[in-house]
Structure 1
Amino acid sequence: MIFLRILIVILAILMIAYTCIAKEIRILSPKPGSTILNRTAQVHLILAIKGNGQNQIKVKKENEIIEPFGIWKKNNTYYSHFVLKLNRGKNIYRIEPTEEEFYLNYKPLRSLLMVKTDDPSVFFFHREGLSPQECNLCHTDKIPEDVEITPVPYGPFDPKCVSCHKSLIPENFRKHSPAANWLCKFCHEEKGMIRIYSGNPRDLCIRCHVNAKEFYKKIYVHGPVGTGDCTSCHNPHASPYQFQLLADKKGDVCIICHKDKDKFVHQKPNIIVHKVLTQSGCIVCHSPHATDYQYQLYTGPINQLCTSCHINYRGLKRGHPIRSHPVVGPKDPLRKGKRFGCSSCHNPHGSQYHFLLIGEIKGGRVCQKCHPY
């Protein structure tokens, strides 16, 4: 009799649990097994849940439990939205309590040139159309109440973009004009579809930034400009930095690629940094786009650039650091193929030695690099 009562209680608990657990869970987005290309290491997961128990549905990654940031109900279906953090490579997730597993591959997006829009393994939310029909139940043409925006009287304004992508354009950020006015289709509409531009990004940018055509007439062109990927340095939507740069223009944006200059930009211990670099940044001497001088210097040769600030040495050919020492010459004894100039003895970025010298001045050690005793 006791055994029968226990069995009845267990069955009752199971019946209650069954009524509280979702009958069907579908992954609306992204497609399991797909590759995520993104600058930020995260992606939104959307689950469609039939039945009850929507509050019990969680996502687990290793030992981390991920809660939904929002649940909305439409036509007897609950739509749970999650933000999944991504690590480079394969990421395995499990939906709790059903224990259904799925995985996503993550490749950090550094350049739009690496995007293959025709690769079916790469996830594009808008690949088949503007959005899945179910999403349109909530994401309508109505501007969200928490967004203040006045539609401009021109261009392809589409409020549907706002409800999903408003996090791309924080209110206090510096905004790219098309993004600020939600004219997304200026850049993202191609052959009637919403997508990432499949051509060279340069061709898209110079439709408005027509002055950029002049860069390609210069002799020395910065690598990202030469390849046409403006988004290597600029965020096409919004950024907290001037010119929508990916990082501060004083140098942080440059060392994303030029990592060997990090010790100067962030002034590592025992390094004396050229003050113009710490105060104003790389672009005081270098054009971030293109010039007619090596290293994209604004003027050339190097002595001419240096003496634009160090005016006491302007026009000097001999007499520094001692009376007969040359300041300019056709050959640099230490750097094959380069002219002799200021940078033959001084590092223009920084040095562990006084006066940004390439060696210790005491005992004439810097001199011995060219004049061995």
Structure 2
Amino acid sequence: MSIRSRSGWRGRLLPLLFLGWLVAGATNLMAVQFEILEPKNRSIYDDAFATVVVKTDSADVKEVEIETALNRVYVFKPKSESDYYCKTVRLKLGENRITVKVVAADGNVSQKSVDLFYRSEVYEGADEAPYTYKKFFFHNDANEKVCAECHNMKPDFEKAAKKTIKAGGALTADVEVLENPQESNCYECHEPLTSRKNGHAPSVNFMCTVCHTGKAAENNLLDEGKSRYLQPDPIMDRCFQCHERVEEIMKHNRSDHGPTKLGRCNKCHNPHSSPNPFFLRKPIWKLCTTCHAEKASGKHVISSFVYSRNKGGHPTRGRPDPSRPGRELVCSSCHNPHGSKGPFLLRTTGKTPFKVCKRCHKK
């Protein structure tokens, strides 16, 4: 009896399951088909922004949603003139999931995701991407064909109006830039790269090819030819085109700083923009103690040479800088990160380190 009852139950259930499968299949057929053309899944990014490009294959679109790992949702209504939807979004350090939802006119939702990794050498946990991620390069002939339908992919600044930025401060050579940076065809997609408080002159003026020469250097020779806007690594020789003063300092160094000696200016500086002074990747003290963790106690220098009120060491932050009024005491108050004629990168000359003390302690 129980066997027959079970058999009868199965006989009634199977047609219902089959009907449900047909309904689900019909619903799926009504879903809007689309592709995430960019970015490629499991891509590595070295700055905090990625451009998302979505292509829909149906006019039956009510809206397109792009959701980021920072819980930002961007909603687009359909465009009669194009099936493409583009948005440059901000990334968080480390792994990110970008989710795209396309809503059909009948309310049915299709969804796809891509995973990205925002890498930065100066942030623990984000300094190295998992082995399943790789670096992709967009700007080559094959990839640009899609965008060329709407965008001019061949920058030509020869006829554009220009102005000259005169040398001053860290800039030791005059630089010619666009009169109206927004006229650059890089601007529409890459403007967010320059959106942070402190910008780098070539970037904010959209003279991108000053650094993005399309050429590789010693550290990225295997990437040669993968992008028309590749930048050499190490980047130092490009930096010296404008920053001759730093080059001159390095020629006469008695002590050298590792990243500078290796020509890796962009390890400490973000070449596009940054919320920090000098477009540094972190505030100065936090940046220095990323590598020099032994100094992170906040105290430094031999204890017998400092006042007892400091309880064992010279402070490295949390005090005003006597040698630079209006600024806080930080590592660079005493050390020059680009190199020095004195020992230990100190802002002094000769073999004796204590001359640097006179910068603040006049007696």
Report TM bin, short chain.
Answer: 0.5 to 0.7
- CA shift, 1:105, in A, is 5.1
Q: Which residue pairs with 1:73 in the alignment? A: 79
TM-score, normalisation: structure 1:
0.59
Letter in 2 for 1:164: C
- CA shift, 1:289, in A, is 0.9
In structure 2, the residue corresponding to 1:160 is in which secondary structure? coil
Counterpart pick for 2:145 among 100, 120, 133: 133
- Residues in 2 aligned to 1:94 and 1:126: alpha-carbon distance in whole angstroms: 23
Q: Which residue pairs with 2:119 in the alignment? A: 108
Whether 1:43 aligns to 2:50 is yes
- Residues in 1 aligned to 2:358 and 2:88: alpha-carbon distance in whole angstroms: 57
- Residues in 1 aligned to 2:87 and 2:290: alpha-carbon distance in whole angstroms: 32
Whether 1:255 aligns to 2:280 is no
Letter in 2 for 1:179: S
- CA shift, 1:290, in A, is 0.6
- Residues in 2 aligned to 1:309 and 1:68: alpha-carbon distance in whole angstroms: 52
- CA shift, 1:186, in A, is 1.3
Whether 1:21 aligns to 2:28 is no
Counterpart pick for 2:237 among 178, 203, 208: 203
Counterpart pick for 1:165 among 190, 206, 210: 190
- Residues in 2 aligned to 1:71 and 1:189: alpha-carbon distance in whole angstroms: 37
Is the CA contact 1:66–1:82 (under 8 Å) kept in the aligned structure 2?
no
Is the CA contact 1:25–1:47 (under 8 Å) kept in the aligned structure 2?
yes
Q: Which residue pairs with 2:275 in the alignment? A: 240
In structure 2, the residue corresponding to 1:188 is in which secondary structure? coil
Q: Which residue pairs with 1:282 in the alignment? A: 331
Letter in 2 for 1:298: R
Structure 1 160/307 Cα, relative in aligned 2: closer, same or farther at 3 Å?
closer
In structure 2, the residue corresponding to 1:47 is in which secondary structure? strand
In structure 1, the residue corresponding to 2:242 is in which secondary structure? coil
Q: Which residue pairs with 1:183 in the alignment? A: 207
Cα RMSD (Å) of the superposition? 4.5
Aligned residues: 279
TM-score, normalisation: structure 2:
0.60
- Residues in 2 aligned to 1:302 and 1:18: alpha-carbon distance in whole angstroms: 74
Structure 1 182/309 Cα, relative in aligned 2: closer, same or farther at 3 Å?
closer
Q: Which residue pairs with 1:292 in the alignment? A: 341
Is the CA contact 1:68–1:82 (under 8 Å) kept in the aligned structure 2?
no
Is the CA contact 1:188–1:197 (under 8 Å) kept in the aligned structure 2?
yes
Structure 1 68/80 Cα, relative in aligned 2: closer, same or farther at 3 Å?
farther
- Residues in 1 aligned to 2:228 and 2:38: alpha-carbon distance in whole angstroms: 16
- CA shift, 1:217, in A, is 3.1
Gaps of 5+ in 2: 1-19, 103-108, 154-159, 164-175, 216-224, 300-308, 321-328
Is the CA contact 1:69–1:82 (under 8 Å) kept in the aligned structure 2?
no
